[in-house]
Homo-oligomer: A and B are copies of this chain.
Amino acid sequence: MAEETISKVSSSRDERRDRRFQRQRSEIMDAAARKFADQGYAATTTKEIADAAYMGESTLYGYFPGKRDILEAILAHEAEEMDALLVQFGKIDDRDSFVDLLDRIMKRFFTHLSYTRTVVAEAWVSDEIMKDFVLSRAHQISSLISTFISEKVHSGVFRPIDADIATRILLGTFFGMMLPVLRGVEPPPDPARCRTLAETFVWVLLDGVAVVRKD
């Protein structure tokens, strides 16, 4: 409402129309993401998407050329958000900044759960999506972390571990830890617990669980 009051002053008819158009697009994407997350893209009908977005079926086609394009818009949107977080990885230099970034990534995933679930579901069954939306970003993250670990090993902070294997384990562990929530079998943790999880994760990663060191 406040927005509208402002817009009367600052926005032309075209701008308002465009804003409305974008809002409707988002509505559709949200509804679609919820259904895709629950049933997968292929098993979701346009009727279901329309119903979930409180629209007629054919209205969708005023905002997207086809069903496939809704999926792609969702993927592209996620990609964008991820890219924004990705640049932060280059700035990790200590435990705290590491924990901090993990914390923010988790929160991002959990507040857009259905988007993330959709990406995972479709990347799992489509090589193209896996390549374009997931692998390309995973590779960047990997090399950033790998570099980070290599440096720590070189400077003697870490034991002489293979950086690539460690990276994989790190990413796998992180992703695996979030799986139950992503999948929806557990409710997303509240912000405080999110932080705890990030801390525990870094703690275990760096120190292991055993009291007696074997080396």
Contacts and interface: CB of A to CB of B under 8 A. Distances in A.
Interface residues of A, number: 55
Interface string A174-196: 11111110011100000000000
Interface string A140-181: 000000000100000011110100011011011111111110
Q: Do most interface residues of chain A lie in helix, strand or loop, or is the interface mixed?
A: helix
| Copies of this protein chain in the complex | 4
A13 interface: no
Contact of A130 (B166, B174, B185): B185
A205 interface: yes
Contacts of A177: 168-169, 172-173, 176
Nearest to A212: B157
Interface stretch (A17-25, A70-78, A96-104, A120-128): A120-128
A41 to B, nearest CB: 8
A206 B210 contact: yes
Contacts of A168: 177, 180
A170 B181 CA distance: 16
A213 B212 contact: no
18 contacts: A40-B124, A40-B125, A127-B184, A130-B183, A149-B209, A156-B211, A157-B212, A159-B210, A166-B204, A172-B177, A172-B179, A174-B176, A175-B179, A176-B176, A204-B208, A206-B209, A207-B215, A213-B213
